[in-house]
Amino acid sequence: MFRGFLDSSVIKRGQECGAISVTTANIRDFSTEKHKRVDAPIFGGGAGMLLRPEPVAAAIRDAKRQMPKAKVIYMSPGGEIFSQKKAEKWRDEETDLIFLCGRYEGVDQRIRATMIDEEISIGEYVLSGGELPAAVVIDAVARLVPGVLGTIDSVETESFSRHLFRSAEFPQFTRPRNWEGMGVPEVLLSGNHQRIFDWQLAHLPGLSEAEERVLAVRRKILPIKTRNLFLRNYEESDIDAWVRWFNDEEVTRYLRISPPLTREDEEEYFEETQCNLFCLPISICEKKTKKPIGNMRLTLFPEAPHRADFGIVIGEKKYWKKGVCKEAVQEMLRLGFEELGIHVISLVVDVRNVAAQKCYEACGFRCVGKREKEYEKNGMFYDSFLYEVVKS
């Protein structure tokens, strides 16, 4: 079932150039029974047969001897739904992968409990076995490996990539310029790469009006200079500062997060904000040096995009009580109300954080309620105030 797939197209070229290596093993080869049977009736009854644990375990152990650090992935209808994000994660981890392809009614639960690292599904439907799903996943991951495709640009701006905010790809055209009375958008013929990319992002399918507005702010309005600050989109280089801030107990005293936080935690947060067009993440930087001193985020509700949650952290302590927070909050309110069409912005603040409450009140927020024991941290429960500011 795998040979035609592995011996053609980009997967074949990837193997020939040494970027990837793919081998197959037949579970029947590990059966000790006379007729190489690998299945048996299910205890407790039920239709169908189940793969026995002995030959499956022997096959996995043999693969592990060849690739000791490999992850074992079981292709199962009940597993995590496979996505481009998962493919990118496995590519970035640079870890060998072993795919276990079930048959019949699947594999014995004891194998799943002790020898499987992850279970993956390619959709909520059932196939005769895990071979076709495994082929799908192999293709999706392999084509992301440098050297498998001709150029890395081929995968950086395609459907469901981070650069396209996990959206499907924009419309594309080729020769002839006019076909059956239909032409090509003039901007695509202009040669202006910036205008072309703006057009492509503006034509991503399925974006809501709220997402389009957030995208416009990210692309066309940021960065912004205020009296003392430089406000811009998050950048990957900010992560080092985040790790330092959020492992400082003084910085996180009134936050819901508790140190220690790892760089992997912050990388995951960065990735989430880059792809989520229902949030506007902004790095707060010192105007002269452009160095980050804090960050803030406005998060819209997909079901009610006229409302949004707000959060802010000033991580560099030397800027505390210098008016930086107020200046940043005021600019975010302007963006939310004037550019994003939001009507109500809310935030939650620890009742002990009096300085933050004064800052928010000076910016127009009003306390509208109290949440008793709203969050737990280090075994203690803390109360919060709910603040809101209305556009009118």
Domain assignments of the chain as residue spans, ordered by start: 3-142, 157-173+183-206, 222-390
The tens place of each residue's pLDDT in the chain, 392 residues long, gives 898 999 999 999 999 999 999 999 999 999 999 999 999 999 999 889 999 999 999 999 999 999 999 999 999 999 999 999 999 999 999 999 999 999 989 999 999 999 999 999 999 999 999 999 999 999 999 999 999 987 666 677 788 888 888 888 999 999 999 999 999 999 999 999 999 988 998 899 989 999 999 999 999 999 999 999 999 999 999 999 999 999 999 999 999 988 899 999 999 999 999 999 999 999 999 999 999 999 999 999 999 999 999 999 999 999 999 999 999 999 999 999 999 999 999 999 999 999 999 999 999 999 999 999 999 998 999 999 999 999 99
Taking the alpha carbons at both ends of the chain, their separation in whole angstroms is: 64
DSSP strand pairing (71-81 vs 118-121): parallel
Q: What is the pLDDT of residue 20?
A: 96
- Residue 304's DSSP bridge partners are 301
- Pick from 341, 335, 346: nearest CA to 306: 341
What is the predicted pLDDT for the residue at 290? Answer: 97
DSSP state of 196: H
Please, what is the Cα angle at 275 between 350 and 239, to 5 degrees?
60
For the structural domain made of 222-390, what CATH number should be given?
A: 3.40.630.30
Q: What is the pLDDT of residue 154?
A: 67
Cβ atoms of 214 and 278 closer than 8 Å: yes
Q: Which residues contact 279 (CB under 8 A, 6 or more apart)?
A: 214, 273, 297, 298, 299, 300
In the block, tokens 């995208």 appear at 215
Give residue 152's pLDDT.
65
* Interatomic CA distance for residues 194 and 311, integer angstroms: 32
* Cβ contact 49:77 at 8 Å: no
190: number of Cβ within 10 Å: 12
Task: Please name the fold of domain 3-142.
Answer: Alpha/beta knot (3.40.1280)
**Whole-angstrom Cα distance, residue 345 to residue 299?**
9
SS3 assignment, position 110: helix
The vertex-161 CA angle with 159 and 165, nearest 5°, equals: 95
- Give pLDDT, residue 295: 98
**Pairwise CA distance, residues 137 & 75, whole Å:** 9
pLDDT of residue 166: 83
What is the torsional sign of CA 323, 329, 333, 335?
positive
As given in the structure block, the two tokens for residue 104 are 């019949």
